[in-house]
Amino acid sequence: MNLDIYRTLGRSGLRVSPLALGTMTFGADWGWGSEKDEARQIFDAYRDRGGNFVDTANQYTNGTSEQFVGEFAKGIRDRLVIATKYTLTTRPGDPNSGGNHRKSMVRSVEDSLRRLDTDYIDLLYLHIWDFTTPVEEVMRAFDDLVRAGKVLYAGISDTPAWQVARMQTLADLRGWSPLVALQIEYSLIERTVERELIPMAAELGLGVVPWSPLASGVLTGKYGRADLEIGEGAASPTGTRKNVAAANGALTERGLVIADVVKEVAAELGVTPAQVALAWTLLNSAVVSPIIGARTPAQLADNLGALDVRFTDAQRDRLHRATAVELGFPHDMLARPMTREVTFGGVQLERRAS
């Protein structure tokens, strides 16, 4: 598989690469990102391999990420699929400078267009659910921006499945622009999204775009037990990557046990742990394009090697058993032999494709 063997995003006809370039590492504002020259090298290396799907957000590295992406995209803008996000506050203390509401969305889009130096955004995500804004307001505002040509497609990130389902149904009923992408945390360490979010996305036509497929670096094998004692100040995007790993809940004893299994499989295949972790996410048919957040050109080259990884059935089973989560009710109950017997009475049914 190569970066220039493209996939369609959700129910749309938009073609994107099978690995997206994450740019939260573009800019040193938070203490651990790449300076402009190195970020440019990463961007160019991704493009040279045929990559076209670039992910950023309004507040990544305080806006520097969008500025760098806009500068690097000059001359090739229309060849790229640039995704950005709104929701994060831009003026702490101002109640309307963040959130999911229309004012926040419109203002954020205008600011992103300026930083990206473009007249349209290919994919705009709602970044984080705020639990206050009516879904009608969100979906109508998305549709207005699409009709105005400032946004081409709408997506959503980090939101409960039942809310996403409401929004998609509402868009379908009212003829508004639907959601075509779902960005969620998904990795060998974080598999609870397999309970509701991933099945919902497959059923309702949202392409899954995983963030943190390497679990903030934990699955690369870079951390050990001594790193578990990180102390105060971990819950912040600033400082070190270890801070982020701890704040995201990936740097735990369980996470390190899983990382050990990943290293074992990587050694058997003669590849790196990062390549194993990324390749595993691509095994899920609902996943369109995991986001790779390389901080150096060498890390990018290593991550792209995931496209060539092939697991044996035994290796896939070992990774599954080491990381599986309980699906819980009603999924576990519905899968029990007694439930299936009283429901189907021995009738064999072929499941329809999603």
- pLDDT computed for residue 234 by the predictor: 54
Under 8 Å between Cβ of 282 and 316: no
Please tell me the distance from the alpha carbon of residue 136 to that of residue 142, in angstroms, as a whole number. Answer: 10
Is this structure's pTM higher than 0.95?
no
Q: Which residues contact 93 (CB under 8 A, 6 or more apart)?
A: none
**What is the pLDDT confidence band of residue 238, given thresholds at 50, 70 and 90?**
low
| Across 87-96, 104-113, 310-319, least confident range | 87-96
Q: In this model, does residue 354 exceed pLDDT 60?
A: no
Cα dihedral angle (138, 141, 147, 151), rounded to 10 degrees?
A: -70
pLDDT digits (tens, 9 = 90+) for 170-226: 999 999 999 999 999 999 999 999 999 999 999 999 999 999 999 989 999 988 888
Alpha helices in 117-233 (DSSP H): 135-147, 161-174, 197-204
- pLDDT computed for residue 163 by the predictor: 98
Average pLDDT, integer, range 94-105:
96
DSSP assigned state of 270: T
Q: In this model, does residue 248 exceed pLDDT 80?
A: no
Give the β-pairing of 20-22 and 53-55.
parallel
DSSP 313-330: HHHHHHHHHHH-----TT
Q: In this model, does residue 265 exceed pLDDT 90?
A: yes
Q: In this model, does residue 330 exceed pLDDT 80?
A: yes
Q: Is 6 a catalytic residue?
A: no
Catalytic, out of 6, 46, 60, 125: 60
pLDDT digits (tens, 9 = 90+) for 2-38: 899 999 999 999 999 999 999 999 999 888 889 999 9
3-state helix, strand, coil in the chain (%, to 5): 45, 15, 40
How open is the CA angle 276-254-185, to the nearest 5 degrees?
60
Strand partners, 34: 26
pLDDT digits (tens, 9 = 90+) for 25-82: 999 988 888 999 999 999 999 999 999 999 999 999 999 999 999 999 999 999 999 9
Share above pLDDT 90 across residues of the chain, in percent, rounded to a whole number: 85
**What is the pLDDT confidence band of residue 232, given thresholds at 50, 70 and 90?**
very low
